[in-house]
Amino acid sequence: MSLVPASRSWIAPVVIAALAATLVGAVGATITDLGPWYQTLRKPDWNPPGPAFGIIWTIVFTLTASAAVTAWRQTASSREADTLVWMFALNGFLNLLWSLIFFRLQRPDWAFAELIALWLSIAALIVVCGRLSRAAGLLLVPYLAWVTIAGVLNWQVVALNGPFG
């Protein structure tokens, strides 16, 4: 039996998406170590100030959770909904994996390679969500833009500080 998208309650998906985004953000924050190793890295002059990262990630995660709910409500089948949820879960995993590689393993070079997979997962989410809801796809564009900026910053850290290992 297929549910008509308009009849789906919005409360549970909003709560689940908000909790998932909060969990990814909280775990990412605990993985992010801004201690001596990070402080000694040379960074480009245009490196955003420290507080900007928390503000930007909060906005990005809020928009991402909104996109997830918006797209999920437009799915036509359980299989389509499950695929969408798994795509967001994979994206969250890749987001956390980048922080783990960059900050805990202290390997910005490997983190840059992983960031390419993260970027591709966001691009795929934009395409899939955009097919379900134009608004959902557009809500993910700032995430892609921010990860693009983070990728350039990551590349600059590698160029200014490498080789690592």
Which tens digits make up the pLDDT trace of 13-40?
Answer: 888 999 999 999 999 999 999 999 999 9
Instruction: Note the pLDDT of residue 13.
Output: 85
* Cβ 129 vs Cβ 63: under 8 Å: no
Instruction: Note the pLDDT of residue 8.
Output: 58
- Count of domains in the chain? 1
pLDDT at 5 exceeding the cut of 60: no
CATH of the domain at 132: 1.20.1260
Which tens digits make up the pLDDT trace of 32-77?
Answer: 999 999 999 999 999 999 999 999 999 999 999 999 999 999 999 9
Q: Quick one: CA dihedral 115, 120, 122, 123, positive or negative?
A: positive
Q: Is residue 46 part of a domain?
A: no
Instruction: Note the pLDDT of residue 7.
Output: 52
- Residue 33 region by backbone torsions, left for phi larger than 0, else alpha for psi between -120 and 50, else beta: beta
Q: Is residue 4 part of a domain?
A: no
Instruction: Note the pLDDT of residue 9.
Output: 73
Q: Using CB atoms within 10 A of its CB, is residue 37 exposed (0-12), middle (13-18) or buried (19+)? A: exposed
Q: Is residue 5 part of a domain?
A: no
Q: Is residue 3 part of a domain?
A: no
pLDDT at 128 exceeding the cut of 50: yes
- Model confidence, pTM: 0.91
Q: Is residue 84 part of a domain?
A: yes
- Which tokens sit at 46? 């245009």
- What residues make up the domain containing 153? 10-40+51-161
Q: Is residue 1 part of a domain?
A: no
Q: Is residue 90 part of a domain?
A: yes
Instruction: Note the pLDDT of residue 11.
Output: 84
